Chain A
């Protein structure tokens, strides 16, 4: 990536940036607006990006700062949500895992923004706790706490401590697509 023109590199991160925007806003129109602002800011401030550092983290930081600034202006915790997680399911239905994934998305949707964000950054995007903390402008311990609380909430909502559920999820792959013991 180091030899690539940073503007070309920016384009390679757009699918992930959009996924992050969608998971944060849960609204396609808002996500696209946030993304447009982020691309414009990043492109016109490319001289502020340090080559060799993590561009994805830089882009995600710009986007999440836009999101929280906008949310503060609107003075509300929850923006208009258009079930973006459910929409993806209806577009790409899965076989046996469909109902379980639907439950998972509903549970994810119920998390507070900060907890969902921390979980997405660490659990889905692969950022280290330290990187996520820097991106969110908080201490590493705060990110760890948010991730732990998010996991605990999902565990509760999906009743994952139920022995019957766990017995049927003996590998990560099986757990994703075929654990029929999950509650409907």
Chain B
């Protein structure tokens, strides 16, 4: 397996990690799905209702 001391392998690892971070960053962009924002609204409303009833 790749040795961390080997500059070539270190370069390959850096290439892979940078691309991974780029792919992961791309996947994080964009709005959250409506189902999730709707779910959060419902959960917050339920919490508030429970708090108010105490």
Which one of A13-21, A50-58, A75-83, A128-136 contacts B?
A13-21
Q: Is the CB of A176 within 8 A of B22?
A: yes
Within 8 A of A (CB), among B18-54: 18-30, 32-33, 35-36, 39-40, 43-44, 47
The answer to whether A23 and B23 touch across the interface, beta carbons within 8 angstroms, is: yes
Interface of B is mostly: helix
Determine whether the beta carbon of B18 is less than 8 Å from that of A88: no
| A45 proximal to B (CB < 8 A) | no
Q: Cβ of B1 and Cβ of A148 under 8 Å apart?
A: yes
Number of A-B contacts (CB under 8 A): 109
A residues in contact with B25, CB < 8 Å: 19
Task: Collect the chain B residues with CB atoms within 8 Å of residue A161's CB.
Answer: 8, 12
B residues with a Cβ closer than 8 A to A are 1-2, 8, 11-30, 32-33, 35-36, 39-40, 43-44, 47
